[in-house]
Amino acid sequence: MMGENMTDNILSKELCFQLYIASKEIIKKYNSYLNRYSLTYTGFIAMLAIENEMTINKLGDELSLDSGTLSPLLKRLEAKGYIIRKRSDKDERSVELFLTDKGAQVKKELPSISLEIGDSLVSCNENINYDLLLSQLLTLNKSLKTEI
């Protein structure tokens, strides 16, 4: 019992662990909404980021995902009829992404999920300032990316 409390105390002071747990729990909330679209959280953020004629490389940069993660994800999105991948007319080494009509409709519906989850986070704990938390995480992520 004593070891368990000591571990809890050590982990409670680990920023990375707390971010990890928060991320897992929030993604779990997202997944309950995303099931109706047959999307994972990674598919969700990809759908939000994809713009017509966006290259796969640009999408990978925006989402901080490598091609090993992106390729199977894009295959699944294409199989669901959400996107089309096409070689660029400007540079045949590059592949561009296009939303289908179905994909555009799904993309239009997805932001409401984030709003609902954000509202539920704030309503379950009045000490959470959503805008402040988001601002701090954006600042943290920006500083971490510039350090590398």
Predicted local distance difference test score (pLDDT) of residue 148 = 56
CATH number assigned to the domain comprising residue 41:
1.10.10.10
The pLDDT assigned to 124 comes to 85
Are residue 90 and residue 129 in the same domain, yes or no? Answer: yes
Each residue's pLDDT, cut to its tens digit, for the chain (148 residues) gives 445 565 668 988 999 999 999 999 999 999 999 999 999 999 999 999 999 999 999 999 999 999 899 999 999 999 999 999 999 888 888 999 999 999 999 999 999 999 999 898 888 888 888 889 999 999 999 999 887 5
How much is the pTM? 0.85
Task: Based on the fold, state whether residues 75 and 19 are members of the same structural domain.
Answer: no
Phi/psi at 97 (5° precision): -110, 145
| Same domain flag for 38 and 60 | yes
Residues 27 and 64 in one domain: no
Instruction: Give yes or no: residues 8 and 79 share one domain.
Output: no
User: Does one domain contain both 78 and 136?
Assistant: yes
pLDDT score at 2: 46
Q: Specify the number of domains making up the chain.
A: 2
Range of the domain at 92: 34-147
Residues 48 and 106 in one domain: yes
Which pLDDT score, from 0 to 100, does residue 32 have? 94
b/e map 49-64, b = 16+ CB within 10 Å: bbeeebbbebbbeebe
